[in-house]
Amino acid sequence: MKRLLVVMFVCVVWVFLSVCNGHAQKLSPYLIGFVGDLTGRMSEMGTANKRGMDIAIEAINAAGGINGRPLKAIVYDSESDPTKSVLHAKRLIEVDKAIILTCFNLSGSTMASIPTAEAGKTVLFSASASERIWIPTKRWVFNVVPRQWEASIPLLIEILQQKGAKKIAYIYIDTVYGQTGRETFDRAVKEMKFTPSIIVNYPPGSTDVGPQITQIRASGSDGFLISGNLADTVMVIKNARDMGFTGPIVSDYGIVGPELIDLGGKYVEGIVTTSLKALVAPELDDKDPQKRIALELYNAYTKRHGKFSLYAGHMWDQMYLLAEVLRKVDPKLDPTKDSELVKIRAEIRDNLEQIKGFVGQNGIFNYSPDNHNGLPPKCYVPVVVEGGAWRLFKGK
């Protein structure tokens, strides 16, 4: 009799646990909208973004998800086309019922999609560099990329000067990203009290900048700074070297990745730019508060994909920031119910503004109602192509 009672008790407990477990497994996932350039002229960036997102989501889900729910990405390729980014953003909000819009690695695509995010009262998390995205503050728009003015262009100008350049030229791509670089450069030269030798630009899609290089050489420039994207920056460097320019060349942040070395070969050896720390994670000081997570991403990425791309860090930050704020969202809210989805989206926005001291790949985040970038100065470090690899730049 006792044995029978024990068996019955065990069966009841097993059934109860099975029901509870089944209920937990049936919880709908939090759907995350991803709009990135998986094809098109910025595909190397969008692809790395997606890889970073995949690594982060897998780790978060392996640890139990958030509020008992897994994270699930809905991925759309914007094909480096702002119009398609807008259409995808609208679909993610209205049809797919995503709790947030993420990636948006192209500044122009981000800017074009902002009205859609605002109308849908859904956070747009941008991985683009233009400060126009978050200045002035926009209620539903947040960013994870440090500002060029505080972190990149002034440092690059100083490096050109350290390399002996006296007459510094500036060349930029005529896009939102490049125009922001131009604004930043203008501000930097004013603060640093020097006059550039010449400023020129080129349209996106250019295959030759010979006329612009001729102008730079004619101006007597002995060094120049580029604000461009990866493939076009390689083109500018090749044109310059093939036309006999021998002075130092540095480039703004938008080129960092293994693809620059693959595309540029010997032409990019010695090129200095700035990078977020994850690119050189193994070389960081052990006391750096970002080193642990930088190595975590660096090792996971290189194990899967070979050479590291820092753009993975943008999505790592977006995913872990999202996880942080989702933990504070009412766990009873069901993202499959429209009325409750509205509340989840609003709580994500409100909670992001409260983030303080979050250690990310791109820096230590402190968001506020007046600052939707949240990153301090000096998030970038100088890096150089040395021996066919990215290394910390430590001097001349």
- Number of CB atoms found within 10 A of residue 265's CB: 13
User: According to the model, what pLDDT value does residue 10 have?
Assistant: 45
Q: What is the pLDDT of residues 287-300, one digit of tens each?
A: 999 999 999 999 99
Quick one: pLDDT band at residue 151, thresholds 50, 70, 90?
Answer: low
What CA dihedral angle connects 279, 284, 286 and 292, to 10 degrees? -10
Instruction: Please give the structure tokens belonging to residue 94.
Output: 């209205």
In the predicted model, what is the mean pLDDT of residues 161-177?
Answer: 95
User: According to the model, what pLDDT value does residue 152 have?
Assistant: 81
User: According to the model, what pLDDT value does residue 22 have?
Assistant: 47
**Ramachandran angles phi, psi of 69, nearest 5°:** -110, 140
Class of domain 149-279+381-392: alpha beta
Quick one: pLDDT band at residue 177, thresholds 50, 70, 90?
Answer: confident
Domain boundaries, the chain: 30-147+293-366, 149-279+381-392
In the predicted model, what is the mean pLDDT of residues 156-181?
Answer: 94
The least confident of 23-37, 153-167, 198-212 is 23-37
pLDDT of 88 strictly over 50: yes
Quick one: pLDDT band at residue 9, thresholds 50, 70, 90?
Answer: low
- The residue that leads in pLDDT, 326 or 6, is 326
In the predicted model, what is the mean pLDDT of residues 273-286?
Answer: 94
Domain 149-279+381-392 in the same topology as domain 30-147+293-366 = yes
pLDDT of 13 strictly over 60: no
The least confident of 30-34, 41-45, 217-221, 281-285 is 41-45
pLDDT of 217 strictly over 50: yes
* Beta-carbon-side half-sphere exposure of residue 258 (alpha carbons within 13 Å): 10
User: According to the model, what pLDDT value does residue 149 have?
Assistant: 65
With contact defined as beta carbons under 8 Å apart, do 363 and 379 qualify? yes
Residue 373, SS3 per DSSP? coil
User: According to the model, what pLDDT value does residue 3 have?
Assistant: 55
**Ramachandran angles phi, psi of 143, nearest 5°:** -135, 155
Q: What is the pLDDT of residues 180-211, one digit of tens each?
A: 899 999 999 999 998 999 999 999 999 999 99
Percent of the chain with pLDDT over 90: 81
Report the CATH architecture of 30-147+293-366: 3-Layer(aba) Sandwich (3.40)
Instruction: Please give the structure tokens belonging to residue 185.
Output: 């450069």
Q: What is the pLDDT of residues 218-231, one digit of tens each?
A: 999 999 999 998 89
Tell me the C-alpha distance between 225 and 5, whole Å.
81
Tell me the C-alpha distance between 247 and 241, whole Å.
9
